[in-house]
Structure 1
Amino acid sequence: MADSAFSIQYLKDFMNSQIYDEEKWAFNMKLLRAAGLFGGSILLMRNYGDLMAI
């Protein structure tokens, strides 16, 4: 049981270090935007790809 409490605290510390550090936050936002654009383009092509065909 002590191992799970340690891992939860480690996870909290990791998340806080990623959010509150300006350089890491800027990189993470770029990464999130790129992943969102990629996911959105996949959904767009799956739903409306046949309309874009020549």
Structure 2
Amino acid sequence: MAVTVVSIENLKAFWHSQVHDEEKWALNMKLLRATGLFAGSIFLMRSYGDLMAV
């Protein structure tokens, strides 16, 4: 099997490319908001779903 080594420099370069590029950052923020909304709605329904039942 091939052994891949992930160095700190590669991680820093990836982080820098994702955060400091405005187009990628905008897309990443949309994904983060969607994920947060999804997780929040699951939490809300699991915690208080019985109160919302009709």
Which category describes the TM-score, using the shorter chain as reference length?
A: 0.7 to 0.9
Report the equivalent of 2:11: 11
Kindly state the Cα deviation for residue 8 of structure 1 after the two structures are TM-superposed: 1.2
TM-score (norm 2): 0.86
Identity of aligned residues (%): 70
Name stretches of at least 5 consecutive residues in structure 2 with no aligned partner. Answer: none
More helix by share: 1
Aligned residue number for residue 43 of structure 2: 43
List runs of 5+ in structure 1 lacking aligned partners.
Answer: none
Alignment length (residue pairs): 50
Moved over 2 A (4+): none
Calculate the TM-score normalised by the size of structure 1. Answer: 0.86
Shift of 1:43: 0.5
RMSD of aligned alpha carbons? 1.0
